[in-house]
Amino acid sequence: MMRTVFVNGEYLPEDEAKISIFDRGFLMADAVYEVTSVLDGKLIDFDGHAVRLERSLRELDMAAPCSKDELLEIHRKLVEENGIVEGLVYLQVTRGSDGDRDFAFPDADTKPGIVLFTQNKPNLADSPASKKGAKIISIDDIRWGRRDIKTVQLLYPSMGKMMAKKAGCDDAWMVEDGYVTEGTSNNAYFIKNGTIVTRPLSTDILHGITRKAVLRLAEEAQMQIEERLFTIDEAKEADEAFTTSASAFVMPVVEIDGVQLGDGTPGPIAKRLREIYLDESRKTAI
Ligand code: PLP
């Protein structure tokens, strides 16, 4: 089906949407993005994504293309026009184009670029992958040092996914200085003796919107949480593990570097957290 997309102020059929070859998102990966999930035709944690977008823009000295209310309106209009009941809205803001290529940023009055499109994913909540659980490999983390900014520099994470695929697995967790940072497109956790362990927030990882919600819900459910550095060997000896992201919610992990966790099926705490997260998200969706 031909989607309606939003490009620099216009709603257009996807095959008529165009951006300049001089756009800095295209030339320099000088762009940031957000992915917001849709359940029951409504947006999950729109506010969290809008706040993180503002922060990413601020950290890069990039102008906002429109107000938060306008962003919400565009998200909603695309969800409606494209008949999305379950799926995702992708949003990208770039530093725009001043009609040439230069390492220096263009003048501050250069208009930022903005692109939004939807992705229809009918089985997002009831995904077969979440029932099986993910097999992961560990790889070196060789990304730049500001992973807290959600930029479109996704080549290494894409390569990580391909390394996992080649090894017959689903995803990769990245390791730096002996400690796990995060997954290629998600935050990483393990559970040992009932305690959920995850890396604390810093510039080393993306401050996941799903991470924040899941940790709050786990705390409300009286679960023990430790935010600390952890090694891949600790995770391999865990009872359970999981990842969180806006596009996969809570995803159980059943194998790390060929080592099976528990009985090799999604663990009870990860499964429970997925249920709680989905229930709460549906209730607060807008
Ligand atoms: N970490 C990385 C590197 C990511 O790319 C993502 C999502 O794209 C996440 C974590 C999870 O963030 P969120 O829960 O906001 O989707």
Q: What is the pLDDT along the chain (286 residues), one digit of tens a residue?
A: 799 999 999 999 999 999 999 999 999 999 999 999 999 999 999 999 999 999 999 999 999 999 999 999 999 999 999 999 999 999 999 999 999 999 999 998 899 999 999 999 999 999 999 999 999 999 999 999 999 999 999 999 999 999 999 999 999 999 999 999 999 999 999 999 999 999 999 999 999 999 999 999 999 999 999 999 999 999 999 999 999 999 999 999 999 999 999 999 999 999 999 999 999 999 999 9
Give residue 8's pLDDT. 97
Closest residue CA from atom 7 of ligand 1: 185
Over the Cα atoms of the chain, what is R_g?
19
Is the separation of the CB atoms in 180 and 243 below 8 Å?
no
CB 210 near ligand 1, within 6 Å? yes
Angle subtended at Cα 103 by Cα 101 and Cα 104, rounded to the nearest 5 degrees: 105
d(CA 238, CA 255): 10
- Number of Cβ within a 10 Å radius of residue 27: 17
42 catalytic per annotation:
no
Give residue 49's pLDDT. 98
CB 186 near ligand 1, within 6 Å? yes
- The closest-lying atom of ligand 1 relative to the alpha carbon of residue 182 is 1
Give residue 1's pLDDT. 78
Separation of CA 186 and ligand 1 centre (Å): 4
Give residue 108's pLDDT. 86
Phi, psi (deg, nearest 5) at residue 172: -130, 145
Separation of CA 160 and ligand 1 centre (Å): 14
The CA-based diameter of the chain, rounded to the nearest angstrom, is 58
**Interacting residues of 126 by C-beta distance below 8 A, sequence separation 6+:** none
d(CA 82, CA 251): 27
Please tell me the number of Cα atoms within 13 Å of 46 on its side-chain side.
20
Strand, coil or helix: 36: strand
Mutate to test the pocket of ligand 1, among 185, 212, 216 (most ligand atoms within 8 A of CB): 185
Q: What is the bridge-based pairing of β-strands 134-140 and 249-256? A: parallel
| Sign, CA torsion 234/249/71/4 | positive
Closest residue CA from atom 4 of ligand 1: 185
Could you tell me which residues are beta bridge partners of residue 92? 33, 115
For residue 70 the two structure tokens come to 């306008």
d(CA 46, CA 49): 5
Is the separation of the CB atoms in 140 and 176 below 8 Å?
yes
Phi, psi (deg, nearest 5) at residue 241: -150, 160
Task: Name residue 255's amino acid.
Answer: E
Strand, coil or helix: 214: helix
Mutate to test the pocket of ligand 1, among 206, 217, 274 (most ligand atoms within 8 A of CB): 206
CB 23 near ligand 1, within 6 Å? no
Separation of CA 187 and ligand 1 centre (Å): 6
Give residue 195's pLDDT. 98
Phi, psi (deg, nearest 5) at residue 235: -65, -35
Is the separation of the CB atoms in 91 and 72 below 8 Å?
no
Give residue 168's pLDDT. 98
Separation of CA 79 and ligand 1 centre (Å): 21
Catalytically annotated residue among 150, 166, 212, 271: 150
Mutate to test the pocket of ligand 1, among 119, 186, 215, 274 (most ligand atoms within 8 A of CB): 186
d(CA 94, CA 97): 9
